[in-house]
Structure 1
Amino acid sequence: MALALSGCLVRTAADVVTAPVRVASGAVDMATTSQSEADEKRGRELRKREEELGKLERRYANEMRDCSDGDRRACDKARKTYGEMQVLLPSIPVEPEPR
């Protein structure tokens, strides 16, 4: 019985000694973002900004149409929407033209 108990204690002691290393390495893995994960995140953020720009462009076109029909409130809205587009544009990279 004493022999079985000592084996159990040795294993438990080894688990206690290696536990901080396992916890620390797990924390590092969770805190570290791989390059592919970072690329995916940037891609999602870029697509989100492009979608938002598309919505703003459509809204701006509608407001400009109403503005040209004489709706002064639409003109004010179009100016505001244009400003939002100008703020968003620098964060979207320009694609090179095909050759």
Structure 2
Amino acid sequence: MRLPAFFALPLAAALLGGCISTVADVVTAPVRVAAKGVDLATTSQSEKDEKRGRELRKREERLGKLEREYEKQLKECNEGNRRACDQATDTYAEIQQILPTIPVEPDDT
């Protein structure tokens, strides 16, 4: 006995429902994997901002440390320590290299 086509299609769809979803998963898997790879490879703007902020804080911390060392070395230099004078010169040069990389904060006056 042969079933009419309008009975066969719904029956086939019901029986093959699981297979169709599996086929759809297999077909879309490469697209999902590629999208995940692109997502991992790109950096969001907020991540870039956080990284820039961390780098800026490190430079500011280094500048503060160098300024404290420089003041100490100048004091020792003024007391006659020639080695401290040489160190102060080197420290000042490093300070001058770091200063242009730190943005100036506007005064709120």
- State the TM-score, normalized to the length of structure 1: 0.84
Which residue of 53, 65, 69 maps to 2:79? 69
Match in the other structure for 2:108: 98
Q: How does 1:1-99 map to 2 (within 5 A)?
A: 10-99=20-109
SS in 2 for 1:95: coil
Return the offset for 1:39. 1.1
SS in 1 for 2:103: coil
% same residue: 65
Match in the other structure for 1:3: none
Query: Which structure has the larger Rg?
Result: 2
Unpaired runs of 5+ residues, structure 2, are 1-15
In structure 2, distance between residues paired with 1:75 and 1:12? 76
Unpaired runs of 5+ residues, structure 1, are 1-5
Return the offset for 1:93. 0.3
User: Where do 4+ consecutive residues of structure 1 move more than 4 Å?
Assistant: 6-12
Q: For the aligned residues, what is the CA RMSD?
A: 2.1
Return the offset for 1:7. 6.6
Return the offset for 1:13. 3.7
SS in 2 for 1:86: helix
In structure 2, distance between residues paired with 1:24 and 1:60? 53
Count of aligned pairs between the two proteins: 97
